[in-house]
Amino acid sequence: MDRVRPAMLWDIFCKVIDNHGDIGVCWRLSAQLARRGERVRLWVDDASALAWMAPAGEPGVTVLAWTAQAAAEPGDVVIEAFGCDPEPQFQAALAAASRERATQPPWINLEYLTAERFAQRSHLLPSPVLSGAAAGLTKHFFYPGFVPDSGGLLREPDLARRQASFDRAGWLRGHGIAADPDTRLVSLFCYEPAAIGHLLQQLAAGPRRTALLVTAGRAASAVRRWLDGREQAQPGWLATSRLSLTWLPLLSQHDFDHLLWSCDLNFVRGEDSLVRALWAGRAFVWQLYPQHDGAHHAKLAAFLDWLQAPPSWRAFHQFWNGGTSQAAPLAVPAWAAAAQAARERLLEQPDLARQLLAFVQERRGAAA
Ligand code: TRH
């Protein structure tokens, strides 16, 4: 805790559109603010994933039903994640509180993570509210990012210490995963990449033995679907290959991190798991959330540029994200070296919660 001022009460709003990223990011942010001594109310329309993501909760964070906000008195700071507007009643209460307090609580729209230039240009820009119950108030955009003039990435202050004392062998043993030094460990968290069959065949062919640790949900379904077809065509294919599969249960976020720290190669997807893969400092492959208009290809290109990815890494990412049907080989050692260098660059940046706190204090100071 690096605080001498009184705690603020933060209202964080989260709507779960699909998948786990919305609540995953909001939970990590809430927990990190609470660990810095802040008080957080997390308003969410579907909190069910927190039962496995954060079973222990976090002192200082109260999870509240989205519908309960209508009767709430606003706290000191409002964060809406990914442009999800609070309910009109809460916005009206915020406008009233601003009048009574003669100052508006900072209201921040926490945006999606991207390395594209527009994010840096838009970071911290004001956005006046022109209509509705909160007309006349101002929100500010807050863009996470990979470079110093962005909002940074979520990172716990004790991350490096926890990584240094992590008992990899013990964690693997505890999850029933054999840690034979000759076997390469690969984690898989993905949607339904067309290249899944190619990956499985590549791992199955060797030359090293690979244990593929498949996360629960869409990744497991995608692997099972492909394997069923393959086994029908060639019964016993998997058993005679260099590939073994472990089907993981849903892990807490802590254990999801431990999984990434334990593997030689991590397949991740979306937003939060990408950040965790970067902190793991291991080779990784990112599958972006596919957009109908193909916008994810520009987003991937910007990220690979920032990453200073060697050509083999770029090629595999294009293939894994459906940007090309040209199959690409794995080159784990070269990717690992670039991943470690990227992690070092990122560690020099202040983390997102710290930057958010600084911005909020600046706004409150300016308004006082
Ligand atoms: O679930 P996602 O695909 O979420 C995505 C992204 O956030 C994307 O930006 C958004 O537009 C889209 O949803 C709608 O991937 P992401 O962001 O990595 O979130 C997964 C979360 O789930 C992350 O916090 C890690 C957590 N997780 C666990 O805690 N345990 C697990 O076992 C698994 C598989 C995931």
Show pLDDT as tens, one digit a residue, over the chain (368 residues). Answer: 455 678 999 999 999 988 999 999 999 999 999 999 999 999 999 999 999 999 999 999 999 999 999 889 999 999 999 999 999 999 999 999 999 999 999 999 999 999 999 999 999 999 999 999 999 999 999 999 999 999 999 999 999 999 999 999 999 999 999 888 899 999 999 999 999 999 999 999 989 999 999 999 999 999 999 999 999 999 999 999 999 999 999 999 999 999 999 999 999 999 999 999 999 999 999 999 988 888 999 999 999 999 999 999 999 999 999 999 999 999 999 999 999 999 999 999 999 999 999 999 999 887 76
Output the CA 21–ligand 1 centroid distance in Å: 4
**Of 111, 271, 272, 351, catalytic:** 271
- CA distance linking residue 49 with residue 135, whole number of Å: 34
- CA distance linking residue 277 with residue 152, whole number of Å: 15
Output the CA 218–ligand 1 centroid distance in Å: 11
Matching residue, tokens 């927190």: 50
Ligand 1, atom 7: nearest CA belongs to which residue? 21
- Ligand 1, CB cutoff 6 Å, lining residues: 17-21, 24, 53, 112, 189, 215-216, 250-253, 256, 269-273, 289
Within 10 A of 141 (CB to CB), how many other CB atoms are there? 18
Matching residue, tokens 């599958």: 287
Ligand 1 pocket: which of 19, 267, 269 to mutate (most atoms within 8 A of CB): 19
Q: Helix, strand, or coil here: 84? A: coil
Strand duo 126-128 + 138-142: pairing? antiparallel
In this prediction, residue 351 carries a pLDDT of 98
Task: Give yes or no for a contact between 212 and 264, defined as CB atoms under 8 angstroms apart.
Answer: no
Task: Give yes or no for a contact between 69 and 86, defined as CB atoms under 8 angstroms apart.
Answer: yes
216-242: buried (b, 16+ CB within 10 Å) or exposed (e) per residue? eeebbebbeebbeebeeeeeebeeebe
Catalytic status, residue 271? yes
**Of 11, 22, 80, 272, catalytic:** 22
In this prediction, residue 292 carries a pLDDT of 86
